[in-house]
Amino acid sequence: MLEKLPDNYVPLLPEVEAFLAQPVMPYIGGAYVAPYSEQTFGTYDPSSGRQLAQVGRAQKEDVNIAVKTAREAFDAGDWWLRMSPADRSKCIWRLAELIEQHAEVLAQLDSLDNGKPLKTTQTDDIPLSAKHLYYYAGWPTKIEGSTIPVSQHTMFNYTLREPVGVVGLIAPWNYPLLMATWKFAPALAAGNCIILKPAEQTPLSALYVAKLTEEAGFPPGVFNVLPGYGEEAGAALVEHRGVDKIGFTGSVEVARKIVQGSVGNLKRVSLELGGKSPNIVFADADLEQAIVGSTWAIFGNNGQSCTAGSRLYIERKVFDQVIAGMQEEVSRIKVGPGMARQQPDLGPVVSDEQLDRVMGYVHEALDQGAQAVTGGSRLFGELQDGYFLEPTLFTGVTDDLRVSREEIFGPVVCAMPFDDVNEIIDRANDTDFGLAAGLWTTDVRKAHNLARALKAGTIWINTWGNTEAASPFGGYKQSGYGREMGKEALDLYTDVKSVWIKTD
Ligand code: NAP
Ligand code: MG
């Protein structure tokens, strides 16, 4: 159950205390139900290490029940056969409104579970989740087929776009509710029934939202949440032959298992994976903007963003100036508990496992001669109970080191100089990933040329990190396939049927 939290925390809302007071159970068929095994697992506050709640540990049997329930809702229930697209819109819109009404509760839950500052969940994670639903609430009435001008003149041909069916959605912990919403909003708009598996570190907000779907008018069985471990609940969902599609966000390593696990019924799979995104600062950039932008490109969300600008390339003649500017910018960053009354800019990393992983990269880089211009250590003192790290800016590194090639998913950036445009295009593209890339320049030709030359699903020019429900997002190369957001996400959750009618 909820352990006593440190005294310097914002007081918990009564709704949050009540929600965490007893084990939080999987949500199947419109109700919280104990898992078949009756086992639970703990979820913790990474700022203090204290337990927040016990959570029902869904496993294979629960996946079987959830799939059966979702299938019944899809095939025979009110959801698809009787509910009109306009009514589906209303449900999604109402869910967005309910998320706004419960925003403070959800902001506390995500801050507690993930560790990120409450001010961030209040201004970003939760409002953006609601916005996402508002955007997709507009779609059910606009998902259209087409009439095709076939050359067989006695034939009439048209297409229907239909939901895929029962979809399994597997989410990461870095933006707990937002990453889940990126998936379930378009899946629901397209008329599917969903089974969401949140990350084991951050299951709380999705489980809270599950209850709101009732008030929003979703028929039971349309929206199901199975908290649990990836190897158990996640793998069972992936392998289940009654699941028609898996939407996954997470690591490349787990993505490979998902592709392998999906072969039984050749279910559709879409993958949003990691990155090692190059951020390129040209000497002709507005350097003040580039310095602030590049600092937050990596340290925003503590580097725990798939799009973190973790490879920083700076044109040699301004290298020292940009590094000095970033050093100053970093010196103003306050790190502390996400729920502290005195709000920090950054919280801890999500778990001790993640802390060890990140520190492993830091120590290796230091051993190989990297210089930590800022950071390089764990934070102790009054932060010793949490998983706090100093934002770390490395110079003296090269492209071939592990620290410059692998996704660290923590507050660590490798800064390297470059001399000319062609060189930097090659170096930026020399990676297995292709999620995002960015550049800072005032030369419009350079901006457009690099936008084409860089191999990544998103290019940011004189900015970093912008996403919006209306704009497609996803990876090139091993950063995944399929595009979330925008009208493209609807392609992930629909199948196209071609209908032929002989007219003579
Ligand atoms: P992860 O370890 O790959 O886990 C992601 C999800 O997969 C979790 O819910 C996890 O459950 C589950 N999982 C683990 N093993 C599984 C298996 N064998 N079968 C089915 N599901 C399984 O990733 P993470 O550490 O949570 O998240 C960080 C990664 O996500 C980074 O690589 C980051 O770049 C990527 N990411 C990408 C995007 C994007 O949009 N491209 C956005 C955010 C994050 P457990 O929690 O129980 O392990
Ligand atoms: Mg947690």
Cβ 467 vs Cβ 135: under 8 Å = no
Q: CB within 5 A of ion ligand 2: which residues?
A: 43-44, 113, 201
Distance 114 CA to ligand 2 centre (A): 5
Using the predicted structure, report yes or no on whether residue 78 has a pLDDT greater than 90. no
Distance 114 CA to ligand 1 centre (A): 14
Annotated catalytic residues are 272, 306
Widest CA span of the chain, in angstroms?
A: 84
DSSP alpha helix (H) spans, 117-175: 118-120, 126-137
Given pLDDT bands bounded at 50, 70 and 90, which one contains residue 350?
very high
| The pLDDT value given to residue 224 | 98
d(CA 333, CA 346): 7
Percentage of the chain beyond pLDDT 70 is 99
d(CA 16, CA 269): 35
| The pLDDT value given to residue 83 | 86
232 lines ligand 1 (CB under 6 A): no
From the list 50, 51, 28, the residue with the least C-alpha distance to 40 is 51
Average pLDDT over residues 304-324: 98
- What domains does the chain contain, in order, with CATH numbers? 61-273+481-498 (3.40.605.10), 278-468 (3.40.309.10)
Burial level of 121, CB count in 10 A (0-12/13-18/19+)?
buried
| The pLDDT value given to residue 77 | 67
| The pLDDT value given to residue 1 | 83
Using the predicted structure, report yes or no on whether residue 82 has a pLDDT greater than 90. no
Average model confidence (pLDDT) across the chain: 97
Average pLDDT over residues 224-243: 98
pLDDT digits 0-9 by tens, 422-453: 999 999 999 999 999 999 999 999 999 999 99
How do strand 245-249 and strand 166-170 relate by DSSP bridges? parallel
How do strand 223-225 and strand 371-374 relate by DSSP bridges? unpaired
| The pLDDT value given to residue 475 | 98
Backbone phi, psi, residue 216, to 5°: -75, -15
Cβ 193 vs Cβ 19: under 8 Å = no
d(CA 218, CA 69): 14
Cβ 92 vs Cβ 185: under 8 Å = yes
d(CA 28, CA 468): 30
For ligand 1, mutation pick of 174, 254, 273 (most atoms within 8 Å of CB): 254
Average pLDDT over residues 306-334: 98
Given pLDDT bands bounded at 50, 70 and 90, which one contains residue 413?
very high
| The pLDDT value given to residue 81 | 65
pLDDT digits 0-9 by tens, 28-50: 999 999 999 999 999 999 999 99
| The pLDDT value given to residue 64 | 98
250 Cβ neighbours under 8 A, 6+ residues apart: 170, 171, 172, 272, 273
173 lines ligand 1 (CB under 6 A): yes
| The pLDDT value given to residue 76 | 75
Q: Which ligand is nearest to the CA of 197?
A: 1
Average pLDDT over residues 168-174: 98
**For ligand 1, atom 42: residue with the closest CA:** 306
Average pLDDT over residues 335-364: 98
Distance 5 CA to ligand 2 centre (A): 13
| The pLDDT value given to residue 212 | 98
Average pLDDT over residues 311-333: 98
Given pLDDT bands bounded at 50, 70 and 90, which one contains residue 80?
low
